[in-house]
Structure 1
Amino acid sequence: MLLVAGFVLAALNLRPALAGVSPLLSEIMADLGLTPAAGGAITTVMVVCLGLLAPIAPALATRVGLDRTLLVGLLILAAGTLVRGLGGAVTLYAGSAVAGTAIAIMNVVMPGVVKQHFPDRVGLFTGIYVSALVTGAASASALMVPIEQRYGWRTAAASAAVLALAAALLWAPQAFGRRAGGGPAGAVRRPYAALLRSGVTWNVTVFMGLQSLTFYIMLAWLPTIFRDAGLPADQAGYLLALTNVAQIAATLAVTSHAGRARTQVPHIVAAALLTVAGYLGVLFAPATLPWLWMVILGLGQGASIALALLIITLRAPDPASVTALSAVAQSFGYLLAALGPFLIGLLHQLSGGWTVPLLAGLAACGLQLVSGVRAGRPPARPPDLRASRAVSTDAP
């Protein structure tokens, strides 16, 4: 029971540090004198770290195990979120980079933790942790504006540290208990050469990157789009929270069913079409029935991220291989996704409106659909991605 509670609370920390930026973006930009492109770059910095620093997680897990690696990620996350609320632009970007590093580590190890502790219930616990991830994002989206209005944006931006420290305390018994997984004694060499040669890896990676790109575009800019359409700041934040709540329903429903299916293609097509419909609603009628567009968008995006993480877990045979595949897919995938918030901010700055940026987002949704169909098909012959035992614990 303690294992499940710690697992869920750790998953709740995977998005608040990211989702909590966009509701505060107008206040941050006004206070620090940032342009729209520079404002979008706050999220971009974090997402770049998710990509560049994802390989840290398998190397760390080799030495100390998956459970302790997750604990390290939680502690780094608490430090990063505290730093970004300390001062001006430098600490904001530096703290965001540290927080992004922590989330990179945690993102990569969570599928391996699922495979390690719940090997017979992969679909169920993938759904549980992705639902917790989305719940954390929804909570941050809803709470940031009230906290900012009472205490200022710096306190709001640093508030996610409280949740990270609470999760670290609850996960610590698992990390240092007798059942803690991995460590030097069980070190393995992760099969990166085999992974990079496999078409499965690149199909999963491209799908992971494009669904993340379309997600982070909206995560970074939705409140600003709604405010520019005439909605008040608190309502814009609540609408972002609503789309995250809708994601919870999608993640709980899709993973259990898709995890038992032979192919995940039908689920991926449905998720992509819902995402497109949400984008179209925001493009053509942002102030008309915005709650409807947020529900539709949330169902599509929640299903997409859940399917991407489920496919990572399904396509590899053991926790070490899952962690390796997760590192490759999330490293390249998030580097692609990192372009989204910055480019959308730049397109908005150049065009003076949201039509061109949202059309670019719709084009990315189309590419997401194509890549998802390729990733969702089971390979004719499962690739040999198993990790081999190694005497040395050196990272590959």
Structure 2
Amino acid sequence: MVLTPPRQKMAGRIGALLGILLMALSLRAAVVSVPPLLGSIGPELGFNSFSTGLLAMLAPVVFAGFGLLTPRLIRWWGLEKVLLSAVLLAVVGQLVRAVVGDVTTFLLLSVITLAGYGMGNVVLPPLVKKYFPDYVGLMTSGYVTMLAVGTWMSPQFSVPLANASNWRTSIAAWALLSAVVLIPWGIQLFTDRTNPRPDNPLVNGLIAEPPVRINPWKSPVAWGLAIFLAGNSAQTYVYFTWLPPYLSAQGLDTMTAGSMLALFAILGLPVALLVPLWVPRLRNPIVAVLIFTACWITGHLGLYLSPTEHTALWVVFAGLGQGTFAIALLMMNLRSRTTYGSGVLSGFSQGLGYGGAAIAPLLFGIVKDATGGWSASFGMLAICILVMLTGAVMINGPRKIEDSHGDPDPLSLLERID
């Protein structure tokens, strides 16, 4: 049998609970709140096609860089200090870029903002591992749901906020959402000083110490999760970038095309609720991956073969395919034993995964322009599917990232008792 951590009282973890959920809610604000405002921001700051394309690529590129850097920061500073640094970077970047007067400075401050959120992406899974080892599935469901809500909320309210005041106020308002994260974490850190907790779950009286060093570059689990996340995120970024232009090119009006993107985004919410509660019960998580992959394929084929008929149905299928992203986030904890291992796996997989996915929207457009049609570009999505499934096979087994390094620790021995 597999031994699991004993249930702990929720008292003493309320700050962490609120802090994790609020952080997840704010993580996508900087990414998706700006594009709807470019009609106002562009003429004032001097955005052109190149700088607009560069802005679209910043998020995955910066997430990739700081995904690889953050595990080292966690090792040096600890999870909470990295989280607080991430929030401060995000808040300062958003506030200052709301008052700048040129596109270059706006882009540089966007890098600072996204660096904060990139660090936040990485620390969330190990924070769940540290504070809620007995509720990993439930907490993952909660914070992935907040990610989905934030992805929908920012573009939904950015334009009304700008219409009520101006685009600068709208951008600055999302910084306040990030700043609120500091309150529950301040409470939690005070609680932790009063009642210190171990970084790793207690199992039968033994504490699993983090390994001296984990090298994810030599871990099949880490590579598998990175490959899986790259294939998944590439499809998602292509949809966020190209779905409205593609549908408009097929004859749909601009408003309908935009509504289809909103439909795609909001469908991340139900799968975010379902996946972390269902997948941990499966002996082979690849079963869930195959179901959501079938949704992706149906959506891709429907939009390519019949983009103006039953459009919403094809978008619904593709939107449900986003369950693969929720699986990737869940695996950061299911394929690690320790808080430190979760942090290393999270940083490595998100770093390489987002880095690999960053090029997909750009190539999608380049291939479309080079061939004069959409067929070859949609063929790229088939390649993304194959990449994602390759990673899924690599992470399907029960192996953990710590298993690639030295002798197993006491916790791993206990977990193997049958």
CA–CA distance in structure 1, aligned partners of residues 246 and 165 of structure 2:
24
Matched with 1:90 is 104
CA–CA distance in structure 1, aligned partners of residues 181 and 48 of structure 2:
33
CA–CA distance in structure 1, aligned partners of residues 377 and 252 of structure 2:
19
CA–CA distance in structure 1, aligned partners of residues 236 and 382 of structure 2:
11
Closer, same or farther in 2 for the Cα pair 1:295/1:388, shift >3 Å? same
Report deviation, 1:264.
Answer: 0.5
Which of 373, 377, 381 is matched with 1:361 structurally? 381
CA–CA distance in structure 2, aligned partners of residues 348 and 156 of structure 1:
34
Report deviation, 1:220.
Answer: 2.7
- Alignment length (residue pairs): 384
The amino acid that maps onto 2:21 is: V
Q: 3-state DSSP class of the match of 1:55?
A: helix
Match status 1:139 vs 2:153: yes
CA–CA distance in structure 1, aligned partners of residues 311 and 163 of structure 2:
23
Which of 126, 142, 148 is matched with 1:112 structurally? 126
Report deviation, 1:27.
Answer: 5.9
- Does the 8 Å contact 2:128/2:136 carry over to 1? yes
Q: 3-state DSSP class of the match of 2:321?
A: helix
Report deviation, 1:286.
Answer: 3.9
- Does the 8 Å contact 2:234/2:357 carry over to 1? yes
Matched with 2:415 is none
Match status 1:47 vs 2:56: no
- Does the 8 Å contact 2:211/2:402 carry over to 1? no
Matched with 1:317 is 337
CA–CA distance in structure 2, aligned partners of residues 355 and 233 of structure 1:
22
User: Bigger shift: 139-148 or 329-338?
Assistant: 139-148
Report deviation, 1:159.
Answer: 3.8
Matched with 1:393 is none
User: Bigger shift: 150-159 or 164-173?
Assistant: 150-159
- Does the 8 Å contact 2:47/2:103 carry over to 1? no
Q: Percent identity?
A: 29
Pair member with larger Rg: 2
- Does the 8 Å contact 1:271/1:304 carry over to 2? yes
Q: How do 1:269-280 and structure 2 match up within 5 A?
A: 269-280=290-301
Closer, same or farther in 2 for the Cα pair 1:153/1:222, shift >3 Å? farther
Report deviation, 1:72.
Answer: 1.9
Q: How do 1:53-92 and structure 2 match up within 5 A?
A: 53-85=66-98, 86-92=100-106
Match status 1:160 vs 2:180: no
Matched with 2:5 is none
Structure 2: which 5+ runs fail to align?
1-13, 200-208, 410-418
Report deviation, 1:317.
Answer: 0.5
Matched with 2:116 is 102
Write the deviation string for residues 230-281 of structure 1: whole angstroms up to 9, x where unpaired: 5555554443332222111112112211112222111111112212222233
The amino acid that maps onto 1:191 is: R
- Does the 8 Å contact 2:96/2:109 carry over to 1? yes
CA–CA distance in structure 2, aligned partners of residues 79 and 344 of structure 1:
33
Closer, same or farther in 2 for the Cα pair 1:387/1:354, shift >3 Å? farther
Match status 1:191 vs 2:180: no
The amino acid that maps onto 1:312 is: M
Write the deviation string for residues 195-231 of structure 1: whole angstroms up to 9, x where unpaired: 3222122111111122112112222333343444455
Match status 1:375 vs 2:395: yes
CA–CA distance in structure 2, aligned partners of residues 25 and 287 of structure 1:
27
Q: How do 1:1-396 and structure 2 match up within 5 A?
A: 1-24=14-37, 32-35=46-49, 38-85=51-98, 86-151=100-165, 153-177=167-191, 178=193, 191-193=213-215, 195-229=216-250, 231=252, 233=254, 235-301=256-322, 303-351=323-371, 354-379=374-399, 383-384=403-404
TM-score by length of 2: 0.81
TM-score by length of 1: 0.85
User: Bigger shift: 229-238 or 311-320?
Assistant: 229-238
Closer, same or farther in 2 for the Cα pair 1:153/1:231, shift >3 Å? farther
User: Bigger shift: 367-376 or 145-154?
Assistant: 145-154
The amino acid that maps onto 2:321 is: G
CA–CA distance in structure 2, aligned partners of residues 83 and 181 of structure 1:
37
Write the deviation string for residues 82-137 of structure 1: whole angstroms up to 9, x where unpaired: 34433332123212211221122111111101110111221111111111111110
Closer, same or farther in 2 for the Cα pair 1:107/1:340, shift >3 Å? same
Write the deviation string for residues 289-309 of structure 1: whole angstroms up to 9, x where unpaired: 4332332222111x1111111
